[in-house]
């Protein structure tokens, strides 16, 4: 008999599934893989295999490969995309997470969706013994790469706690906002609404300075160092002055969130008149062909409405949809 101890390896953690490998999702899933999580990433196009492998992900074009995961994260653009992934499509015989996940598994939805859809998904998962956590984020693709996202989490306390290590791999801070998943989506939608409205006001002020033949940068510097020192004003005020419109957060997705925020206000009987202006500005920009620009493109629209054209070529690349 020897005194040698037997080293027992730690149990292997369950795989993490990931759906939605756009610019945000790619950065978030890569950070999960970099911190030791085995991530199975679902994409629709098989030609993405090399790109996913370079990110440290296991790619698949068969969503059923995610059904054995303990947690599946979705980072998708809208209600329709999340519904199809979660509930499947009976018309084409496609199963979703609700039909495929094991009891006890967690669907962690980090998408910005309506409160109605969040509530529906929470009910559907609960009926099958699964869990649903909503955790939309504040931050752009650059922040996602640097793990600087602010994560808004809501759901059953044990489920949120179970996801905390994932949040720590993707963001700088987790803010738990309630036990009902839809609470997180309401915070996210109204937060985006406030940010878009702030960008519109910055854009209008900058247009006044440009129309008077003045450089708007000193004004923005004064405002962001005194009365308007928040992150939105500092980050995006400078981009609007520089006419920096590369996405980012493209206008059609901003418009989607603004419309959802307006719907929340209508459902609550709380008018949001200033947000109507932002909605119309976004519609104008998209109609003029600016749908691939960041929401800083509100500055371009404000300038055009004041009779001022851009002082440099507009260059922006649309985000890939995978």
CATH number at 111 reads: 3.40.50.720
Mean pLDDT, residues 164-187 taken together:
98
pLDDT of residue 13: 52
Q: Evaluate whether residue 5 is within a structural domain.
A: no
Mean pLDDT, residues 187-201 taken together:
98
pLDDT of residue 175: 98
**Are residues 175 and 222 both part of a single domain?**
no
Q: Which domain holds residue 208?
A: 187-305
**Above 80 in pLDDT, residue 120?**
yes
Looking only at the bridges linking them, the beta strands covering 58-60 and 71-74 are unpaired
Residue that finishes a domain, picked among 179, 207, 237 = 179
**Are residues 209 and 108 both part of a single domain?**
no
Is residue 145 annotated as a catalytic residue, yes or no? no
Q: Evaluate whether residue 310 is within a structural domain.
A: no
pLDDT of residue 142: 93
Q: Evaluate whether residue 269 is within a structural domain.
A: yes
**Above 80 in pLDDT, residue 307?**
yes
Each residue's pLDDT tens digit, 195-210:
999 999 999 999 999 9
- Label residue 50 by pLDDT band (50, 70, 90): confident
**Are residues 200 and 273 both part of a single domain?**
yes
**Are residues 159 and 291 both part of a single domain?**
no
Residue that finishes a domain, picked among 128, 157, 179 = 179
- Label residue 7 by pLDDT band (50, 70, 90): very low
pLDDT of residue 93: 76
Mean pLDDT, residues 270-275 taken together:
97
pLDDT-wise least confident of 44-58, 96-110, 147-161: 44-58
Mean pLDDT, residues 79-84 taken together:
97
Q: Evaluate whether residue 1 is within a structural domain.
A: no
pLDDT of residue 1: 43
**Are residues 100 and 204 both part of a single domain?**
no
**Are residues 208 and 169 both part of a single domain?**
no
SS3 254: helix
SS3 240: helix
pLDDT of residue 153: 98
**Are residues 43 and 150 both part of a single domain?**
yes
Of 164, 231, 181, 171, the C-alpha closest to 202 is: 231
Annotate 263-282 with DSSP letters as a single string. Answer: HHHHHHT---HHHHHHHHHH
**Backbone region of residue 286 per phi and psi (left: phi > 0; alpha: psi in -120 to 50; beta: other values):** alpha
Cβ atoms of residues 153 and 177 within 8 Å:
yes
Residue that finishes a domain, picked among 133, 159, 179 = 179
**Are residues 223 and 99 both part of a single domain?**
no
Give ∠ CA 29-78-95 in degrees, rounded to 5: 75
Q: What is the CA radius of gyration of the chain?
A: 22
Point out the catalytic residue in the list 188, 217, 242, 256. 188
Cβ atoms of residues 136 and 112 within 8 Å:
yes
Q: How far apart are CA 134 and CA 112, in angstroms?
A: 9
Assign residue 196 the CATH number of its domain: 1.10.1040.10
Q: Evaluate whether residue 53 is within a structural domain.
A: yes
SS3 214: coil
pLDDT of residue 9: 38
- Label residue 319 by pLDDT band (50, 70, 90): very low
**Are residues 269 and 146 both part of a single domain?**
no
- What is the total count of domains within the chain? 2
SS3 206: helix
The single-letter DSSP state of residue 3 is -
**Are residues 175 and 220 both part of a single domain?**
no
pLDDT of residue 320: 38
Q: Evaluate whether residue 322 is within a structural domain.
A: no
Q: What percent of the chain has pLDDT over 70?
A: 92
Q: How far apart are CA 69 and CA 12, in angstroms?
A: 12
Q: Evaluate whether residue 65 is within a structural domain.
A: yes
**Are residues 83 and 191 both part of a single domain?**
no
- pTM for the model stands at 0.90
**Are residues 167 and 192 both part of a single domain?**
no
Mean pLDDT (the chain, rounded): 92
**Above 90 in pLDDT, residue 253?**
yes
Q: What percent of the chain has pLDDT over 90?
A: 87
Q: Evaluate whether residue 317 is within a structural domain.
A: no
Q: Which residue spans within the chain are E strands per DSSP?
A: 16-19, 39-42, 58-60, 71-74, 106-109, 131-134, 137-138, 149-154, 171-178
């Amino acid at each position: 008999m020897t005194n040698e101890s037997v080293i027992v390896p730690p149990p292997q953690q369950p795989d993490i599934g990931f759906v939605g490998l756009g610019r945000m999702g790619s950065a978030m899933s890569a950070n999960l893989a970099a911190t030791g999580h085995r991530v199975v990433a679902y994409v629709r196009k098989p030609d993405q295999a090399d790109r996913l492998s370079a990110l440290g992900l296991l790619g698949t074009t068969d969503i059923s490969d995610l059904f054995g995961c303990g947690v599946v994260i979705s980072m998708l653009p809208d209600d329709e995309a999340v519904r199809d992934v979660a509930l499947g499509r009976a018309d084409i015989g496609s199963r979703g997470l609700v039909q495929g996940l094991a009891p006890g598994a967690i669907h962690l939805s980090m998408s910005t969706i309506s409160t109605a859809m969040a509530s529906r998904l929470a009910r559907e998962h609960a009926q099958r013994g699964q869990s649903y956590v909503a955790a939309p984020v504040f931050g752009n693709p650059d922040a996602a790469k640097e793990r600087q996202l602010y994560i808004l989490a809501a759901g059953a306390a044990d489920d949120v706690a179970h996801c905390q290590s994932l949040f720590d791999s993707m963001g700088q801070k987790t803010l738990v906002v309630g036990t009902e998943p839809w609470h997180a989506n309401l915070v996210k939608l109204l937060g985006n609404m406030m940010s878009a409205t702030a960008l519109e006001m910055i854009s209008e002020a900058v247009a006044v300075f440009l129309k008077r033949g003045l450089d708007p940068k000193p004004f923005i510097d004064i405002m962001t160092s005194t009365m308007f020192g928040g992150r939105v004003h500092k980050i995006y005020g400078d981009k609007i002055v520089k006419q920096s419109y590369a996405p980012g957060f493209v206008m059609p997705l901003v418009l989607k969130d603004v419309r959802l925020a307006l719907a929340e206000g209508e459902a609550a009987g709380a008018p949001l008149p200033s947000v109507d202006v932002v909605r119309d500005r976004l519609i104008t920009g998209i109609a003029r062909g600016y749908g691939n620009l960041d929401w800083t493109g509100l500055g371009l629209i404000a300038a055009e409405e004041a009779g001022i054209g851009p002082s440099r070529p507009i260059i922006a690349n649309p985000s890939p949809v995978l």
